[in-house]
């Protein structure tokens, strides 16, 4: 395991998201990027040269490196399970990009492997760390909203057809390339994180702007939360030029709205001294991936990876555990099941096998 001085990271996958991890690791005291691995040798070699680390061309080679304490799983979604289990079995801590896996059974296998090996398993759901979200979470816990009535997520983004063909898996439904699990997962997660369990889902999925790919690029879903509130999720990658996401929470005594990463509405029947400061949270100038897959900065990733560095030292837990991310995956899978059957789906899911058939 890692010493108290330096935690060594290895990246599995040198694709679109890998530089965000590499830049985050470089910015963290006590963290070091040891290696990057990719079965596409040219990609691994190019990234290793760019960030001054070792290049490997297989997971096995990466896991054999004793200087690697944490493996960041940055592979296509359908490959997360096998990589995470192998890394855990090799005694490495694991930080995987969302979703944790493509099924609840696979996620459970990852959790079990990490527990058996005595290593940490974290998931990158970095939008949770945005300051407006943290303010909303605290206000909900304090009861400032009163009875919670509504919580919604709106993600009206744009991706070109070329994006879907930039890697083979990005146009594959079975690989988890649809808008629901690949893009909107972050914002479904924020609703779950803020509001707690979802009891019932009804969803419709369509392809509005990318007829060349056989997956959904648009989602509309109705949610019934376990606390009695209701909500909607509207998500698309077909809506040019793409606008910032919105997370809205409404209660009997207050309303809060985040657009992008900025708080745009913060109003309560009973004002508190800190409210004016909370209204200024976030930066409106920061790109949040509305118009392109790499149009955002790495600050939120850094926060998640910083916590993983502390976890590898035995000083903390991962910021987002796989158990927490599993709840969001269950909601997303229920959406796919509902869209397929045309019926509302009750949670917890009784049978997830039909989702990817």
The pLDDT score that the predictor gives to residue 4 is 64
Of the candidates 176, 132, 173, which has an alpha carbon nearest to the alpha carbon of residue 284?
Answer: 132
Q: What is the pLDDT along the chain (357 residues), one digit of tens a residue?
A: 454 679 999 999 999 999 999 999 999 999 999 999 999 999 999 999 999 999 999 999 999 999 999 999 999 999 999 999 999 999 999 999 999 999 999 999 999 999 999 999 999 999 999 999 999 999 999 999 999 999 999 999 999 999 999 999 999 999 999 999 999 999 999 999 999 999 999 999 999 999 999 999 999 999 999 999 999 999 999 999 999 999 999 999 999 999 999 999 999 999 999 999 999 999 777 778 888 876 778 999 999 999 999 999 999 999 999 999 999 999 999 999 999 999 999 999 987 866 876
| Spatial separation of the C-alpha atoms in residues 273 and 137, rounded to whole Å | 18
**160 is written with which tokens?**
């070109």
What φ, ψ does residue 211 adopt, rounded to 5°?
-65, -15
Beta carbons within 8 Å of 66's beta carbon, 6+ residues apart? none
- Contact 188/328 with Cβ under 8 angstroms? yes
Q: Domains in the chain, start-ordered, CATH in brackets?
A: 7-124+299-319 (3.40.50.720), 128-289+328-345 (3.30.360.10)
Q: Judge whether 340 and 86 are in contact, CB under 8 Å.
A: no
H/E run at residue 258: strand 254-259
E strand or H helix that includes residue 25: helix 18-26
CA atoms within 13 A on the CB side of 140: 23
Residue-level pLDDT at 293: 78
pLDDT of residue 284: 78
pLDDT at 354: 66
Burial code of 330-348, b = ≥16 C-beta within 10 A, e = fewer? Answer: bbbbbbbbbbeeeeebebe
């Amino acid at each position: 395991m890692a010493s108290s001085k330096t935690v060594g990271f290895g990246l599995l996958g040198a694709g679109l998201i890998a530089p965000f991890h590499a830049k985050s690791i470089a910015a963290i005291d006590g963290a070091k990027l040891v290696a990057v691995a990719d079965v596409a040798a040219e990609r691994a070699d190019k990234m290793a040269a760019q960030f001054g680390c070792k290049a490997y061309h297989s997971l096995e080679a990466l896991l054999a490196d004793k200087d690697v304490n944490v493996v960041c799983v940055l592979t296509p979604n359908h490959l997360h399970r096998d990589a995470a289990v192998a890394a855990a079995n090799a005694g490495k801590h694991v930080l995987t990009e969302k979703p944790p896996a493509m099924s609840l059974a696979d996620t459970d296998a990852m959790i079990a492997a990490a527990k058996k090996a005595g290593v940490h398993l974290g998931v990158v759901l970095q939008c949770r760390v945005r300051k407006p979200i943290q303010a909303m979470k605290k206000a909900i816990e304090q009861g400032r909203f009163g009875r919670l009535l509504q919580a919604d997520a709106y993600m009206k983004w744009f991706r070109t057809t070329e994006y879907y063909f930039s890697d083979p898996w990005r146009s594959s439904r079975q690989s988890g390339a649809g808008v629901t699990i690949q893009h909107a997962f972050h914002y479904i997660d924020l609703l779950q994180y803020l509001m707690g369990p979802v009891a019932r889902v009804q969803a419709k999925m369509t392809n509005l702007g990318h007829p060349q790919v056989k997956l959904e690029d648009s989602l509309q879903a109705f949610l019934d939360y376990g606390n009695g509130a209701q909500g909607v999720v509207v998500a698309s990658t077909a809506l040019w030029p793409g606008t910032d996401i919105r997370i809205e929470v409404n209660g009997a005594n207050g309303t809060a709205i985040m657009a992008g990463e900025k708080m745009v509405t913060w109003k309560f029947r009973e004002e508190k001294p800190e409210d004016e400061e909370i209204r200024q949270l976030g930066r409106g100038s920061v790109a949040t991936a509305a118009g392109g897959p790499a149009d955002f900065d790495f600050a939120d990733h850094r926060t998640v990876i910083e916590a993983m560095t502390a976890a590898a030292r035995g000083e903390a837990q991962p910021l987002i555990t796989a158990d927490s991310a599993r709840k969001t995956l269950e909601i997303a899978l229920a959406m796919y099941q509902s869209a397929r059957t045309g019926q509302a789906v009750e949670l917890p899911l009784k049978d997830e096998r039909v989702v990817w058939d």
